[in-house]
A and B are shown apart, each in its own frame.
Chain A
Amino acid sequence: MSKQNKTDSSWFVCRLWSGFCKPSVKYSAGALLVVGFVAGIIFWGGFNTAMEATNNEAFCISCHEMKDNVYQEYKQTIHYSNRTGVRATCPDCHVPKEWFHKVVRKIQATNELYHKVMGTIDTPEKFESHRLELAQHVWQAMKETDSRECRNCHDFTSMDFSAQGRRAVSQHSKGLEEGKTCIDCHKGIAHSLPDMREVNPTATVGIN
């Protein structure tokens, strides 16, 4: 019985493959082209639509893990509200703009689905206990890409140092000279910092 089934299925695959390779005898090349073109638009459009639908703030905060923790902290910062009214939303900083990097990031994000199901950070306490690890992942990624997402808006080449404050000028000049990247100094600008005793013992309390 099982042998019979196996023969059947391999016969089916063979037929499908040979049909796929041979030219059609039934449909005109034009009809096939048009159908293929339309199907391509639908698939490609659908793919991009789905990608964009998962690439906005409303989608990010549809999970309480984001809405109750990092989103609340972000709302207090300059990237949410400022004098000029320009706002950087979650994907502006956390998802690359270029197509290839964006798809890579989206594939990586499937790991987040696993942790959503497992409830890894589903309470404020659990989130807090993972905060350092989560932050380090972001810092690491930013460092590797030379803070690419920051530079979508902030760039040394378009920065007017003369319009900056005394402290900013000296720090930025030095950073530029030493080839530093944004995240080297600008940590915790949109979310609360984790316990930094291990990361930066020079700016924390306690005997280190």
Chain B
Amino acid sequence: MKTKRQRGAGLGIILCLGLLPAWAGADAVSSLRGQNDLDAPSLKAEITHYQKDGQVIERDYVQQPPLIPHKIEGYQINRKFNKCLSCHSWANYKESGATKISQTHFEDRDKHVLANISARRYFCTQCHVPQADAKPLVENTFEPIRAIRGK
């Protein structure tokens, strides 16, 4: 003996199956990659030209990792050397005039404060990225809160 709920669910499934062909026939979903066939070559990507050199970029929200206002092409960031630190480390920021790395970067994941930059914060480009003058893919009306933006 089927309960009323089971019967309702069965009916729902049948209805959905019935609607499937209608859904498939409707206009295909328009995706960001455009309306070209799967086997056709994708749209030609534009080569990204990063901003060569500029002033500090203001943050849009408090927790945002500051953006990199210059090119970082060819920078070696690995176990042996970190090019970013040659200007941004505490020892070098004064001489180079760069922003010094945040004190939060000296903590490990258990909040233990270390003497040098923590390994989990060592690979700068995991969070900090250079900028290109790229057109937004979707419309965006985001605005920073007034606490950051000012009046």
Residues in chain A within 8 A of chain B (CB atoms): 76-78, 165-168, 170-171, 188-189, 192-197, 200, 202-208
* CB-based nearest B residue for A78: B74
B114 and A205 contact, CB distance less than 8 A: no
A207 surroundings in chain B (CB, below 8 A) = 114-116
Closest beta carbon of chain A to B5's beta carbon, Å: 60
Q: Which 3 A-B pairs have the closest CB atoms?
A: A165-B53, A202-B91, A203-B85
Q: A166-B53, A170-B97 known; A205 and B83 CB under 8 Å?
A: no
Of B70, B74, B92, the contact of A167 (CB 8 Å cutoff): B70
Interface core residue of A76, A165, A205 (most chain B CB under 10 Å) = A205
Q: In the assembled complex, how far is the CB of residue A200 from the closest CB belonging to chain B, in whole angstroms?
A: 7
Asked whether A171 and B96 contact (CB < 8 A) given A78-B74, A203-B81, the answer is: yes
B55 to A, closest residue via Cβ: A166
B70 touches A165 (CB 8 A): yes
- The interface residues of chain B, by DSSP majority, are classed as loop
A-B contact count (CB 8 A): 60
Question: Is B76 on the interface with A (CB-CB < 8 A)?
Answer: yes
Residues of A within 8 A of B115 (CB): 207
Bound complex: CA A170 to CA B74 (Å): 20
- Separation of A72 and B52 alpha carbons in the complex (Å): 26
Q: Are B80 and A194 in contact (CB under 8 A)?
A: yes
12 contacts between A and B (CB under 8 A): A76-B74, A78-B74, A192-B76, A193-B76, A195-B79, A196-B81, A202-B89, A202-B90, A203-B82, A204-B81, A204-B82, A205-B79
Instruction: Judge whether B86 and A77 touch: CB under 8 Å.
Output: no
Q: Inside 8 A of A167's CB, which chain B residues have their CB?
A: 53, 70
Q: Is the CB of B116 within 8 A of A206?
A: yes
State whether A188 touches B53 (Cβ < 8 A). no
| Known contacts A203-B85, A203-B86, A205-B122; is-contact A195 B116 (Cβ 8 Å) | no
Interface status of B54 (Cβ within 8 A of chain A): yes
Give A207 Cβ to nearest chain B Cβ, in Å.
5
Closest chain B residue to A202 by CB distance?
B91
Given contacts A77-B74, A167-B70, A203-B84, 14 further A-B pairs with CB under 8 A are A165-B52, A166-B54, A167-B53, A170-B97, A189-B74, A193-B80, A193-B81, A195-B81, A196-B80, A200-B81, A202-B86, A204-B82, A205-B79, A207-B114
